[in-house]
Amino acid sequence: MIILGIDPGMAILGYGVIESLNYDMKLLDYGAVTTSSAMDTPKRLLKIFVSMEELIQKYSPDAIAYEELFFNQNVKTALTVGHARGVAVLAGARQGIDLFEYTPLQVKQAVVGYGRADKQQVQSMVKLLLHLNDIPRPDDAADALAVAICHTHSSRYGRILGVDRK
């Protein structure tokens, strides 16, 4: 199963692509889609959408996993990131790909085993689980890989328990 993990963002949208092979995971690709704040919002959203479609075409993922948005204070930032997340979700939905979302707590629990893990712990576990020499950069790409790993674990245990999580 090929999983595309997404860490939504307007300036930086992290992505990570892994292949789940039984009880092992193989890294296929990771990176970030970046947009400049000097660009108009519609052009930034179009760039994210087109980039997502290119990733989907290149890797033909079986599932796309997104991190849910979590913001305490800044409503404007939440709305902006929500727009970016929306076009990323739309790109997957247009292709009929199974879409899943996970909270930051669920991602940390799945990757580290502790829902209150810090960013460094999550990144170190991503490196370890994917047999990498270095922690993926930028941080958004490492976060996206963590979301993909979370989906791998979630779908695996769902199958064991008879819950259809693909």
The CA distance from 145 to 49, in Å, is 19
Catalytic residue among 98, 140, 143, 164: 140
Q: What are phi and psi of 118, to 5 degrees?
A: -85, 170
Instruction: Identify any residues that bridge with 102 across adjacent strands, giving them in sequence order.
Output: 67
Is residue 52 a contact partner of residue 92, using CB atoms and an 8 Å limit?
yes
Catalytic residue among 24, 67, 68, 143: 67
Catalytic residue among 7, 19, 101, 139: 7
101 is catalytic: no
7 is catalytic: yes
- The dihedral sign for the CA sequence 64, 115, 78, 27: negative
The CA distance from 138 to 53, in Å, is 21
19 is catalytic: no
Q: Of all helices (H) and strands (E), which one includes residue 146? A: helix 139-161
Which of the residues are catalytic? 7, 67, 140
